Structure 1
Amino acid sequence: MASEKAEKKRKRDSDRHERPTKKPALDLQSLPPLQARLVKDDSELAPVLINTPGVISQPKIRLNPYLKPRSQVSRHSSGSNNGIASTELLLQSSEHSKLDFLGREAIDDADSRLKHYVAVVDPARKTWEFVEVRKVTLRGAVRKVASAEGAEEESEDEEARTMREQRTNLTYTFGTKKSRKATQSMAENAQLSNAPEGAATAAESALLDSMPAESATDIATKTAALQAQVQAAKPLPQPNLDAKHPSEVYPLETLVPNGNATLRQLPIKEWQDTISSGLVVTTTSRYISNRIEAVAESGNTTHLQILRFILVLLELNRSLRSGGKGSASSSGPGSKRLPPKDDLRRILSGGSKSPTSPEETSASETTTTPTAAIPDPTIDAIRRKFAPNSPNLTKNDVTFLHTTICALSLHIPPQPVRDGVPIPNGGNPPNEMATDPSDLRDDLQLDNTAVIQYFRELGCRVDKPRETEFQKWGIMGGKSEAATRRVARLRIPVEFPKVSRGGGARRR
């Protein structure tokens, strides 16, 4: 029994664990006795301790220092560095490709109430010197992409690429380890899958190698030929694709039957005499009425003749009557019919009246009695051009009449002046012809979409007026009014709507 109790005795502490439970104290390094002293220096250019929270590694950039007097000197004391206490240090750098770095001293936190020192040990002299330093917190921020003034068009692909680069840079700088690894993997995959800009991928190269050498050229040639055929088949004036100036794309010889000979036969003298007398010429067209005074005062006879011809075509369009459904004279849906020849002569010669006194202006707004008749040869030439199957006009004939009026309106500048004085292009840039299609929309009784499509088919670009053009287009309501207005611009080279490849074969 005694032997069993002896075996159950507690073990000594030395037998329990070989490893001690407490960490042993570190032995202090044996250093010789040092003399400590504080270096008194009132220089503003003191050493700097930089804290970089949120930045993975210290950026290898050069920081530019800036000093300014402190607004509140709170660190001033007898033992302080007067230069540090009286001035504030700012560090800045834009050398990084995507980030801007800015370093500031603490103002309102706990660090602003502490003094920071750096110790310099000199074993040879056995000294321990303390120098007061500044503590600066350096942070990085993504640089904003500056947009160039006057840039009206920016590539969506370039903008998306810039945003991706900014997000990637933010992830590398401030992201977690997992997000940085995912971003790095995406970048490696993009480098393996994307070829340089303008270069073909491996699949594209293999496909091109398997094709005949002239296939790409043939496809481009056939596409251009198809585009030309479709453009020629449209009810539009034939453009001059070799034009050097927008005015040569749709010359007057193409838009007006017999060209300048027809324009010279149009009666405009009474318009000139009326406006020179200070009276008002009233017409049935909003487009003509809003421009006739400025054109007449400019002394440009050609522009006045063009306005007179546009008024003739507007009166021709207004005189058209429906062909009627199921009638023998009908030329299909949307067809129109000309009035009898005698009525047509009277209608085309009308459209305007010159009041003899200012008091007659308001009373004559609805009167369209002609003051001078248009010669019969001119009327016959107009009928042959716009109604080849007289007296019936097909839907394409009516569209051709509308697009010709739109093309003629491009020859009237927004600020009509005599040629060469003082603005040769009448307010248009040297490489542009522009017009406001809103008045023609009302005269032709079309919706906004239809008249804009007409100008686009003519090769015009339709957009909002620029802020520098508000005075030229008579926009008084600022940007809110400009947002509701549209301007058609014809430039060189002319770009027509592309031929649609269609998707009907894929639709089930």
Structure 2
Amino acid sequence: MPSNLVFHSYLPKNASTSKSQKAADKGLLLHSTTHRSLDYTAREEEETRDSKPLLSHYIGIYDAKSGKLQVVEAKKMVVRGVVRSKQVPTSAALQEEKKSMLDQRTDLGQTFGTKKAKKAIQDKVLNAIAPQRKPGEDSSPVKLDDASKAILNSIGEVTSTMASREELQAVIDEAKPVPKANIDADEIYDVYRPEELIGTDILNLVPIREWQEKAKHGESIQFRSRYVVSRVQAIASNESAEMRLRVLRYLSIVLLFYLYSKPGRQKGTRQVPPREKLRELLAPAPEAVIENIRRKFSDAGQLRKFHIDLLIAHCCALACIVDNFEVDTQNLRDDLRIDQKMMNQYFHEIGARVKPVKDKTEDRILHVAKLMLPLDFPKQRQIRARR
């Protein structure tokens, strides 16, 4: 025990009101906090019941002024040292006391909350920056503190590089498996031009002479597609509709390409027949046209969901050109073997509107897709903020 310790004496509360002789019999306690890391406490050694000390110690206190000597019993003390616990700084303690219930709940959430709860608390704190007013000056101009300014500056730097809603919508539209539309077109026939949708070179290679000859001589044109069979006779016999006939012929090859593919090993995929077999199935289509379709709508002999969506969306756009931008969707839906809801969605993806129309002659409901300006594309879904 260090020799330079300074002890302070303590007596029970009722010791000061007692007589001096009785006070000496009360339990004396000495305490020292002068050590840097230990607290020392000295207490009188406890005696067993009905026992008296065999040896007592006394000290003499000499008063030089009065010349008197006072003899006082020296009590036997037991000293114990304990490590001092770290004390919280007073300023921090006061700050903790001033915390409101909301602050305490926030601290608990940051400490024990889930990732979602912590993010919600952080967003709430960032959005709760309020200018601080001077006491009693409610109408005076307010100023943000340095911390608030720093947070607002950092938010401004981050949001300055963020894409706008229009830019995000453009990126989403660019990534969609749909034919590229000319959204700046003033006329509806300029939205999806066959030369851009198919390509001028490929379009000129599409064979239409056979269909024209059969239509001219009144011969029946047989084909696997209901959509094609229901339209080819009228279009092939119209000499002014050569471009529409070429588009219909190209669409018929695309439909056969899809119909001759088989479900693949992976769910949602389709397998394209080998090249030689595909050339045989799509004859008399030129090889350049077949390769153009195979490269555009498949990859490594496989149609994945992206390719299937792209193919069906192209079929919808081509059908709009063939039918002068107003399509009865039933035959095309039957050829592609999809339900009406999905068929409507594909037409919506290319900017068309689908409405049910009652056919009075046959007493049934037709679903007619109409492509007109302004185009009606699906909008980016807006998620409502939670309160």
Does the TM-score normalized on the shorter chain lie above 0.5? yes
What whole-Å deviation, never above 9, does each CA across 1:399-447 have from its counterpart, x for those lacking one? 1011101110000136xxxxxxxxxxxxxxxxxx211111100000011
Deviation at 1:260, TM superposition (A): 2.6
Equivalent in the alignment of 1:264: 204
Equivalent in the alignment of 1:289: 229
Greater helix percent: which structure? 2
Asked if the contact 1:452/1:462 (under 8 Å) is kept, the reply is yes
Counterpart residue identity of residue 246, structure 1 = I
Deviation at 1:397, TM superposition (A): 0.6
Rounded Cα–Cα distance in structure 1 between residues aligned with 2:281 and 2:336: 16
Equivalent in the alignment of 2:169: 227
Rounded Cα–Cα distance in structure 2 between residues aligned with 1:413 and 1:393: 27
Q: Does residue 476 of structure 1 match 2:338?
A: no
Pairs within 5 Å for 1:35-74: none
* Shift in alpha-carbon separation, 1:272–1:283, aligned structure 2, 3 A: same
Deviation at 1:376, TM superposition (A): 1.5
Match of residue 316, structure 1, among 242, 257, 260: 257
Match of residue 335, structure 2, among 443, 447, 472: 443
Equivalent in the alignment of 2:183: 241
Equivalent in the alignment of 2:303: 393
Rounded Cα–Cα distance in structure 2 between residues aligned with 1:489 and 1:219: 39
Equivalent in the alignment of 1:89: none
* Shift in alpha-carbon separation, 1:244–1:220, aligned structure 2, 3 A: farther
Rounded Cα–Cα distance in structure 1 between residues aligned with 2:351 and 2:194: 17
Deviation at 1:255, TM superposition (A): 2.1
SS in structure 2 of the partner of residue 463 of structure 1: strand
Asked if the contact 2:181/2:192 (under 8 Å) is kept, the reply is yes
Deviation at 1:221, TM superposition (A): 7.1
Equivalent in the alignment of 1:454: 346
Asked if the contact 1:456/1:496 (under 8 Å) is kept, the reply is yes
Rounded Cα–Cα distance in structure 2 between residues aligned with 1:253 and 1:298: 21
Rounded Cα–Cα distance in structure 1 between residues aligned with 2:302 and 2:383: 33
Asked if the contact 1:235/1:396 (under 8 Å) is kept, the reply is yes
Rounded Cα–Cα distance in structure 2 between residues aligned with 1:219 and 1:227: 16
Rounded Cα–Cα distance in structure 2 between residues aligned with 1:229 and 1:282: 43
**How many aligned residue pairs are there?**
232
Pairs within 5 Å for 1:59-208: none
Rounded Cα–Cα distance in structure 2 between residues aligned with 1:290 and 1:392: 30
Q: Does residue 304 of structure 1 match 2:189?
A: no
Match of residue 274, structure 1, among 211, 214, 235: 214
Rounded Cα–Cα distance in structure 1 between residues aligned with 2:173 and 2:277: 35
SS in structure 2 of the partner of residue 410 of structure 1: helix
Rounded Cα–Cα distance in structure 2 between residues aligned with 1:461 and 1:506: 32
Rounded Cα–Cα distance in structure 1 between residues aligned with 2:181 and 2:218: 39
Asked if the contact 2:245/2:322 (under 8 Å) is kept, the reply is no
TM-score by length of 1: 0.43
Counterpart residue identity of residue 243, structure 1 = A
* Shift in alpha-carbon separation, 1:219–1:292, aligned structure 2, 3 A: farther
Pairs within 5 Å for 1:468-507: 476-477=361-362, 480-481=363-364, 484-502=365-383
Equivalent in the alignment of 2:272: 338
Counterpart residue identity of residue 318, structure 1 = L
* Shift in alpha-carbon separation, 1:441–1:498, aligned structure 2, 3 A: same
SS in structure 1 of the partner of residue 366 of structure 2: coil
Equivalent in the alignment of 2:99: none
Asked if the contact 1:263/1:306 (under 8 Å) is kept, the reply is yes
Rounded Cα–Cα distance in structure 2 between residues aligned with 1:348 and 1:401: 16
* Shift in alpha-carbon separation, 1:490–1:220, aligned structure 2, 3 A: farther
What whole-Å deviation, never above 9, does each CA across 1:135-163 have from its counterpart, x for those lacking one? xxxxxxxxxxxxxxxxxxxxxxxxxxxxx
Rounded Cα–Cα distance in structure 2 between residues aligned with 1:254 and 1:267: 19
Asked if the contact 1:455/1:462 (under 8 Å) is kept, the reply is yes
Equivalent in the alignment of 1:409: 319
Rounded Cα–Cα distance in structure 1 between residues aligned with 2:211 and 2:237: 11
Rounded Cα–Cα distance in structure 2 between residues aligned with 1:288 and 1:242: 31
Counterpart residue identity of residue 289, structure 2 = T
SS in structure 1 of the partner of residue 326 of structure 2: strand
SS in structure 1 of the partner of residue 321 of structure 2: coil
Equivalent in the alignment of 2:40: none
Rounded Cα–Cα distance in structure 2 between residues aligned with 1:220 and 1:277: 64
Asked if the contact 2:178/2:310 (under 8 Å) is kept, the reply is yes
Match of residue 293, structure 2, among 382, 388, 411: 382
Counterpart residue identity of residue 272, structure 2 = L
Asked if the contact 1:460/1:488 (under 8 Å) is kept, the reply is yes
Equivalent in the alignment of 1:255: 197
Rounded Cα–Cα distance in structure 1 between residues aligned with 2:264 and 2:381: 32
Q: Aligned residues: percent identity?
A: 33
Asked if the contact 1:237/1:254 (under 8 Å) is kept, the reply is no
Q: Which has the higher contact order (CA 8 A, sep 6+)?
A: 1
Pairs within 5 Å for 1:13-52: none
